[in-house]
Chain A
């Protein structure tokens, strides 16, 4: 079946395209040049999507998500998680290894992929563990994980405190051409529940200083350079000005490839939100102060940050409706990522082209995934969204099984109209 997405504003930053036109997806589910119109066959396609007044872009790729299956299906599963993803315009998601059991062996990877094939609404790329059980002591079978389908390795949520283990991981992954995604928080420093500063003092809660992130980023860049050219380090959910300075310095040296991502919450919110002790503002790394948030926004603008990734982390009320310091870290993010990114476009902080790049081609390049462009021959993964449509975040408007969003009740501007994966419509508003 062929599809013609007609009359939208096509934004395809990888090809420097931003113009009104048509996007065609061929029988093989790939982007193709639209056939010439003939009389009697006005469109030359089996299906036509009227995209007038909307933006047509490469499908978003979220390289940092938690789908919770196997093991924590009361929070989310692959079906509901990918349904939320396509509602947010994602055509592919990378799911982190902290499932139960941990994705540190082929069996878990195969299970995730089989379930995704069976019930998934978008492409699912598992991320394998760096160390067995995410304990940080001995390397997982990264080679076998890659063969089974893992696209990267990470102990996300569990910073690897041993420099020797991290060095070995970067070296070993280099041999497999796998990127190591690092959650950068020194756990001996980061024993708190929010950003450390005058506000943590006033609220009487233990803080995590920004330096806890900085020292790990600086360490891991040094270790990646030690591992040598070909080593690939990706900093997950970067949150501080100091860590961004370290990434820029590493890029300037050019010894190894260091990339980084930011979450929508770290560029949208500050620690000020924690006042009131609402656990939907609790995450790791924590929401930071104004100066760090401003530095993150600037880094989105100047290109230091490669990708926007949601860190979609569903938790039920059981984990969240408790004392702040007892609550689980993280929030759901698939369905709010686009409007929060578009807010930066409306503020003229970044262009529409950069926003789309940060959600599509940027993340693809970090991992080495196909997609992220509307180049003929690329997968027919496309999102159609109305940048001006307003909607209210509520339990009923979200597809995720969990409602742990700090934006519950808030009005968002920008909504997905349709999401196509391999030319198939997987979501339609």
Chain B
């Protein structure tokens, strides 16, 4: 595995290998000395063109626990407005001879463009509304950890599916691992043909949040952005959004008693998720964050050739 551009490119066996590797990586985080020499002498660049706190921090912690040398390059502006192209920026960074580049960009396909132009391994940390593969992997890891398996799970994903890379990567990963995904959200935010992403047998679009959540094993809420209301007329108000699509205790009660609640963050408390649910006993939101480090360690280890030595 030279790059991780998206879940789309991964087989079920590859996904499971990453999750298995993450399990042993998680053990490192529990030690008194939380560091292994695995990537000593290797350089990783975190190239972030979009504001990000948790994903960038999570990658940085993962890289440091593996003893890699870390370079953070952040730019809030797009390459075009800055006057330097994405390819130029990256080629400049290549002079530092990084082994891997972790890239976050507002444009779908930006990591794919880089993979065509530079020699380093590219890890997609979120590209536009396309994919966020490490998020889906940490979500799958968390489900496996909490539910014992992913195969056969009923997973509800509720919110702005159209603009969500988290939803796309999760649909791909969950379908490949044999779960069933129910999607729900305001109809303007359900993009055409979304079922085809995982195959119609594995993905259905529910008519309401209640229908999606009913008897689910996992309830995953997505962040809703205010701009969807003003720019796209996707829903009339945050108040109505919270009523129709938000997760409160009453709605969560429709799910299985054992159901877990997930959110990729950052949360809009009181909009898509009510505090009593976010902080409730069924919430695994903070565990997702913790598992993110282990999954990213596994991904970096595997793309930088660790897998071949172990195989």
Interface check A198, CB cutoff 8 A: yes
Cβ contacts under 8 Å, B107 to chain A: 323-326
Cβ-neighbour of A204 out of B79, B80, B128 (below 8 A): B128
Interface check B176, CB cutoff 8 A: no
Cβ contacts under 8 Å, A199 to chain B: 193
Chain A residue with the shortest CB-CB distance to B111: A277
A207, B80: Cα distance in complex, Å: 21
Q: Is the CB of B108 within 8 A of A325?
A: yes
- Given A197-B193, A324-B107, are A204 and B131 also a contact pair (CB < 8 Å)? yes
- Given A323-B86, A323-B105, are A204 and B110 also a contact pair (CB < 8 Å)? no
Q: Is the CB of A326 within 8 A of B78?
A: yes
Chain B residue with the shortest CB-CB distance to A198: B193
A213, B8: Cα distance in complex, Å: 31
Chain B residue with the shortest CB-CB distance to A204: B130
Give B282 Cβ to nearest chain A Cβ, in Å: 30
- Given A201-B197, A326-B80, are A196 and B192 also a contact pair (CB < 8 Å)? yes
Interface check A41, CB cutoff 8 A: no
Chain A: how many interface residues by the 8 Å CB criterion?
21
A202, B107: Cα distance in complex, Å: 14
A318, B165: Cα distance in complex, Å: 28
Q: Is the CB of B85 within 8 A of A322?
A: yes
Chain B residue with the shortest CB-CB distance to A321: B87
Cβ contacts under 8 Å, B78 to chain A: 323, 326
Q: Is the CB of B85 within 8 A of A321?
A: yes
Chain B residue with the shortest CB-CB distance to A274: B109
Chain B: how many interface residues by the 8 Å CB criterion?
28
Q: Is the CB of B128 within 8 A of A205?
A: yes
A324, B128: Cα distance in complex, Å: 11
- Given A198-B192, A324-B109, are A204 and B168 also a contact pair (CB < 8 Å)? yes
Q: Is the CB of A277 within 8 A of B193?
A: no
A30, B130: Cα distance in complex, Å: 58
Q: Is the CB of A205 within 8 A of B113?
A: no
A322, B117: Cα distance in complex, Å: 11
Cβ contacts under 8 Å, A202 to chain B: 8, 168, 193, 196-197
Interface check A276, CB cutoff 8 A: yes
A204, B169: Cα distance in complex, Å: 10
Would you mind naming 5 contact pairs between A and B with Cβ atoms under 8 Å apart?
A198-B193, A198-B194, A201-B194, A205-B129, A325-B107
Interface set of A (CB-CB < 8 Å, partner B): 196-207, 276-277, 318, 321-326
Given contacts A198-B196, A203-B130, 19 further A-B contacts (CB under 8 A): A201-B162, A201-B192, A201-B194, A202-B197, A204-B128, A204-B131, A205-B128, A207-B192, A276-B112, A277-B109, A321-B85, A322-B86, A322-B87, A323-B79, A323-B105, A324-B109, A324-B113, A325-B109, A326-B107
